[in-house]
A and B are shown apart, each in its own frame.
Chain A
Amino acid sequence: MKNFNKVFTVIVLLFLYIPMIVLAVGSFNSGMDIAVFKSFTFDNYKELFRDSVLLPLLLNSVIVALLSSIFATILGTCAALGIHSMGPRLRRFTMGVTNIPLTNPEIVTGVSLALLFAFVGTMMKINNILGFATLLIAHITFNLPYVILSVMPKLKQMDPNLREAALDLGCTPWQAFYKVVIHEITPGIVSGALMAFTMSLDDFVISYFVYGPRFVTLPVEIYNYTKKPLQPKIYALFTLLFAAILIVMVLMNLLQERDAKRSRENRRAFRRGKKVGA
């Protein structure tokens, strides 16, 4: 059974990585057609760095993702703290509201925001309301629940006495907050922020309904591209992105492992020391 599961997992992972392999191979293809490998070349990469359209669009995507995840993290963490101190009824209501964008299909969220912005635009007589601001608002809106859902469990796990202890030891409430509470929920905040960032970087459906001509993100442009023959430099761009993310993730993994090992050793040394002392 264990062996079957192992083989199965490997097969599923291969399945998940087939398209990456196709894209990576396609990025070194000298022909336009991804299905026919003509010859090996680096030209697509050279062309990518000379390209004046794709890189600014990537920058746009990163800007929106960064700003929206920062803002959603701040707003979401505050909200989680607030929800944590609510009564059960109010809390259930708030969590219900939080669940709306999570269970709503993306297309409905996109459509509803598009209608809202069009409505506000006609009300306020701004005829070019769609742009950076609307994109940012939409991204923050769909990022918020992810932040809240990853901070809430940490708050629940936190020992309420910790804060009391800090207050007893002479902290002001504010100090107790940022020295104890924030410290305790940091892992939740970080994972929420990371999740928000990746969700927003890769978002297509919602952006597709609320982008304006002045500010376009990479996924939206790729959708517009894919109606025409796709240029191999796009494969090159994503192969590079993928490689970069892979390296960062592996490094993070290794670092974490080293940290874990060190703390294990520390603990062991500490225990040994205690024994020796005793």
Chain B
Amino acid sequence: MKRIVPLLLCAIMIFTMLPVQAKADDVTINVYNWGQYISDGTDGYIDVNKAFTEKTGIKVNYMTFDSNETMYTKLKTGGSTYDVIIPSDYMIARLIAEDMLEELDYSNIPNYALVDEAYKNTSYDPENKYSVPYTWGTVGVIYNKKYVSESDIGSWDLLWNEKYSGKILMFDNPRDAFAIAEFLLGIDINSEDQDELRSATYKLIEQKPLVQGYVMDQIFSKMEREEAWIAPYYAGDYLLMQQENPDLGFYFPKEGFNLFIDAACIPKGCQNKAAAEAYINFLCDPEISGENLDYLGYSTPISEAKQYMDPETAASEIAYPTEETLSNGRAFINLSEDTSRFTDSLWLQVKTQGGVDTYAIVCMCAVVVLLAAYFIIHGVRRKKRIANRCKRWKQ
């Protein structure tokens, strides 16, 4: 008996360590996409994942991330696999360079033929081997017309305007945040020059006291509820926010802005490639793409999809800016690994800069000194007392 119990426990321990095997008969794919980036049945719009399951019988386990960097970290850390991911252009290039993507079998994705030529042979995937465009869009400034005067808008410097201190939000990812500072300083947003990056860092640190917070999808509730008045964000999301709060306005800053394409890819380690390709194909179906992006407000790379949209959305100057506006847009290019690392460390510097008052440091030092004094005095007194007692005891 004495031996059995520990042995039993060891056995249970080993048993629990075995990975739980999923049932083989129902296929589930793990989809990893941006937050608020698919029509999920709200307000009577299509529920894309449900529609996919109904059509193919494949279940979708849908997970979200809030920036390209979060997604990259998750993939890199390991421990979990995804079947479909939807990163942005420069991140796709990075994933390709680090050999983290599977090549797609385009014969399983017939709808790819419908994608406009403008979104093929892109700089991030020049040979069209790894990605299928999901949406494209722009970054601009969202502001609240009630509080922000029209004379201040037009440029990125609105985000540095002290009049609105504490009411300004900022991107919580290095690429988008640095791009804004770089536009303002007139530096190329794909610059790899360390001095230029440093000057962008100082620009961001200069802005920091005015910033209410570095956030991503929290922008939705903060802007809609007027907790914040000014935020740079993706144009498509502005269209969503504006439905909730009609006082919100949007403009393309004159210094230029980021133009991006988000595309579906299959990462290495994918468990079910055919199902993943079926999902990507489904997303490219003009009818699905049209209805999905009608809700999202982002722009579709499939012109044919526009006929399934609300004509008002399809004609929106914000979702589909004029050629003239678009000529001001710049795309991100993947930075070299060294520059990526350097940017990450600069970004951490921005995030951790300031906020430490000398007051706290002085107080901490005082506490340490007091503690030390306490122990020393106490130790001396105790020794004395013990010595006295010994003396008395000897007497």
Contacts and interface: CB of A to CB of B under 8 A. Distances in A.
A176 to B, nearest CB: 12
B79 A117 contact: yes
What's the interface size class on B, roughly? 35 or more
Given A213-B63, A227-B66, A78 B80 contact: no
A159 to B, nearest CB: 23
A174 to B, nearest CB: 6
Nearest to A132: B20
Given A129-B19, A133-B20, A229 B79 contact: no
A213 B84 CA distance: 12
Interface string B57-88: 00001011010000000000111111000000
Contacts, number: 82
Given A33-B225, A126-B19, A213 B9 contact: no
Nearest to B61: A213
Contacts of A127: 78-79, 81, 269
A interface majority secondary structure: helix
Interface in A226-271: 227-230
A122 interface: yes
A78 B5 contact: yes
B79 A214 contact: no
Interface residues of A, number: 33
A198 interface: no
A126 B19 CA distance: 9
Nearest to B83: A213
A78 B7 CA distance: 12
Contact of B78 (A121, A131, A136, A173): A121
A64 B80 CA distance: 19
Interface of A: 33, 35, 71, 74-75, 78, 114, 117-118, 121-122, 126-134, 136-137, 140, 173-174, 212-214, 224, 227-230
Given A213-B81, A227-B217, 6 more contacts: A71-B12, A128-B81, A133-B16, A227-B66, A228-B35, A228-B218
Interface of B: 1, 5-6, 9, 12-13, 16-20, 22, 30, 32, 35-36, 61, 63-64, 66, 77-82, 215-218, 220-221, 224-225, 269, 271
